[in-house]
Amino acid sequence: MKLLVKAPAKINLSLDVLNKRPDGYHEVEMIMTTIDLADRIELSLEENDIIKIISLNRFVPDDQRNLAYQAAKLLKDKFHVQKGVSIKIEKNIPVAAGLAGGSSDAAAVLRGLNKLWDLGLNLDQLAEIGAEIGSDVSFCVYGGTALATGRGEMIKELPAPPICWVVLAKPFIGVSTADIYKRLDVSKINHPNTKSMIDSIFHGDYDQMCENVGNVLEDVTLNLYEEVAQIKDQMSKFGADAVLMSGSGPTVFGLMHHDSRMHRVYNGLRGFCDQVFAVRIIGNRHSLD
Ligand SMILES: C[C@@](CO)(OP(=O)(O)O)[C@H](O)COP(=O)(O)OP(=O)(O)OC[C@H]1O[C@@H](n2ccc(N)nc2=O)[C@H](O)[C@@H]1O
Ligand SMILES: Nc1ncnc2c1ncn2[C@@H]1O[C@H](COP(=O)(O)OP(=O)(O)O)[C@@H](O)[C@H]1O
């Protein structure tokens, strides 16, 4: 028996850090939304009791380091599942890019195995299990648009943001999330206006949304990698309405309303860096599977 599950990437429309916690994590306030750039996960029941990862992408581990493997193992151990699974990952989301590719693969495996292994869990239960794998996994279990707080695992659903294009551009570098958080000086943060971003989403106000994008990790990554700043400049030059780095980077996204502007930004960036995508925000929860 086989099951195909979609694992969409996310962007952070805003990312604020409130403080550093005693457990080493940072208390965050993030507005996250899923986009229609997705990995494809194929789950196949295995007769013998194993978890097998199949991936052709050289940056994706094919053993217990893979977050998709960890998701399957966690479900197997918690619910004493005697069956095995092979997990084939068709990687379309750039790796170590600030787009939660690994977290989304893990979330897709949780959703998929819940069906394939007939576990009968609801999304809230899967999200709670996901938080044991990584801070972004809970959001990825639900998808859609949300305010994420705590270390990122506390999810409050929001409506879909105003319809627009998202052009993503990733330079040829990978960024370690842990390293970027470590370098952040929490005493020198210029906080984005999360409340105004939420208002803009509730009111479907595109201009207000564009005015309120902000990410406190951006300066940290920009200082380390000049190419991220260059991509931001190019996006603005080609006419994106808002430009921001996603997560800990290095992917930069631009927002634009009109098709013609999207084409200009997309083509302009294609001449400048190798991984460029023009996608839509998926926005609401129920378009995942
Ligand atoms: C920055 C964000 C924004 O969405 O995404 P990415 O850039 O990774 O996509 C997330 O906060 C990343 O979430 P995720 O990648 O799941 O992080 P985890 O695996 O839980 O943690 C990796 C490391 O990042 C640091 N970390 C993570 C989350 C958080 N709230 N505070 C932290 O300080 C910790 O050092 C932790 O050891
Ligand atoms: N299924 C997976 N897909 C991508 N990367 C994975 C996966 N499982 C584990 N990883 C590891 O997680 C790291 C972070 O990858 P990813 O989730 O793509 O980025 P980010 O945390 O920036 O959103 C990678 O360097 C990779 O070694």
Query: What is this structure's pTM?
Result: 0.97
Are residues 133 and 7 both part of a single domain? yes
Q: Which residues line ligand 2 (CB under 6 A)?
A: 60-61, 65-68, 89, 95-103, 105, 174, 177, 247-248
Q: Which protein residue has the closest C-alpha to ligand 2 atom 6?
A: 102
Domain count, the chain: 2
Are residues 179 and 144 both part of a single domain? no
pLDDT band at 288 (very low <50, low <70, confident <90, very high): low
pLDDT band at 47 (very low <50, low <70, confident <90, very high): confident
Please say if the pLDDT value at position 280 is more than 90. yes
Separation between Cα atoms, residue 224 and residue 285, nearest integer Å: 35
Separation between Cα atoms, residue 204 and residue 206, nearest integer Å: 6
Please say if the pLDDT value at position 204 is more than 80. yes
The residue from 158, 193, 210 where one domain ends is 158
Per DSSP, helices labelled H in 49-122 are 67-78, 101-116
The residue from 158, 190, 224 where one domain ends is 158
Are residues 154 and 37 both part of a single domain? yes
Are residues 182 and 72 both part of a single domain? no
Are residues 115 and 213 both part of a single domain? no
Are residues 18 and 149 both part of a single domain? yes
**CB 193, CB 214: distance < 8 Å:** yes
Are residues 11 and 153 both part of a single domain? yes
**Is 85 annotated as belonging to a binding site?**
no
**Is 101 annotated as belonging to a binding site?**
yes
Q: Which protein residue has the closest C-alpha to ligand 2 atom 19?
A: 96
CATH code of the domain containing 205: 3.30.70.890
The residue from 100, 133, 158 where one domain ends is 158
Separation between Cα atoms, residue 207 and residue 211, nearest integer Å: 6
Q: How far is the CA of 214 from the centre of ligand 2 (A)?
A: 23
Q: Tokens 């893979």: give the residue.
A: 66
Sign of the C-alpha dihedral computed for residues 213, 262, 172 and 237 taken in this order:
negative
Are residues 121 and 104 both part of a single domain? yes
Are residues 174 and 76 both part of a single domain? no
Q: How far is the CA of 83 from the centre of ligand 1 (A)?
A: 31
Are residues 153 and 193 both part of a single domain? no
Host domain of residue 68:
2-158
Mean pLDDT score, 247-259: 97
pLDDT of residue 217: 98
Are residues 223 and 148 both part of a single domain? no
Average pLDDT of the chain to the nearest whole number = 96
Please say if the pLDDT value at position 273 is more than 90. no
CATH code of the domain containing 86: 3.30.230.10
Read off the pLDDT of residues 213-248 as tens digits, 9 standing for 90 and up. Answer: 999 999 999 999 999 999 999 999 999 999 999 999
Are residues 95 and 181 both part of a single domain? no
Residues 6+ apart with CB under 8 A from 265: 167, 235, 238, 239, 240, 254, 256, 278
